[in-house]
Amino acid sequence: MTTDDKPKGAGAWKSPSWYGAGMPMPDDAAGRRRARLAMSGIQRVLIDQGHMARPLRPLDGGAGDQTTAAINRLQRQWGLAQTGKVKRPEAFCLWFPVILWWQVTLEIPGNLLCGMIALESGYDPGAQGVVDLRDRGVGQFSSRWWPNVTDEMAFGDPAACIALTAHNLQAAYQRLGAWELAVAAHNNPAKAQAWKDTGEAPDEQIARYVRLVQAAAGRPL
């Protein structure tokens, strides 16, 4: 993601702005495909967390009565208005148990994984970078740095993307020796390595990215 004065990833949902029955589909074919994949990812997590009584087969990205009822159950559980739609609060409620599990399991300190995802995508499974379209999904995996992360995974399997983000963060920490460098590596592995080699951030952009993640970790929603 980019880190200008108003970072696009800091809670800004790219397209669409919410998911549910009657959602306004993007105008372009790529956007519609991304939205269907994201809705499938939402359905998968609703099933995994027990909000959906019966699995949908196939997970086709539809948002029918069964999905709406499942979203309403999630909203009742967390005390949210029952709209049958997934906006940022609902997405936070869906992903936070997954994020917390990986933070604890991999001993990631300071709520950094949550802060990174909050900043990168605002928890939107269909998020795509505004400046760089290669940044995709909840974890905003750039095809530049992670070419093996397909669109189907980036947009359609948020739980897997969160797990991959967590493992990459832990692996970067083991390689670079500091959590701020591990965070930097998600944005730009080359700059993170240069930071380690010289002991200084190579430019303000990457230093600011780390500060923004740290700030988002303290106010994830």
Res 7: pLDDT: 45
**Residues 23-39 pLDDT 10s:** 777 778 888 888 888 88
In order of start, what are the domains of the chain with their CATH numbers?
19-218 (1.10.530)
Calpha distance 143→12 (Å, rounded): 20
**Residues 99-146 pLDDT 10s:** 999 999 999 999 999 999 999 888 988 888 776 667 888 888 877 777
7: nearest Cα among 221, 208, 179 = 208
Res 203: pLDDT: 94
pTM of the full predicted structure?
0.85
Res 17: pLDDT: 67
**Residues 172-216 pLDDT 10s:** 999 999 999 999 999 899 999 999 999 999 999 999 999 999 999
Radius of gyration for the alpha carbons in the chain, expressed in angstroms and rounded:
17
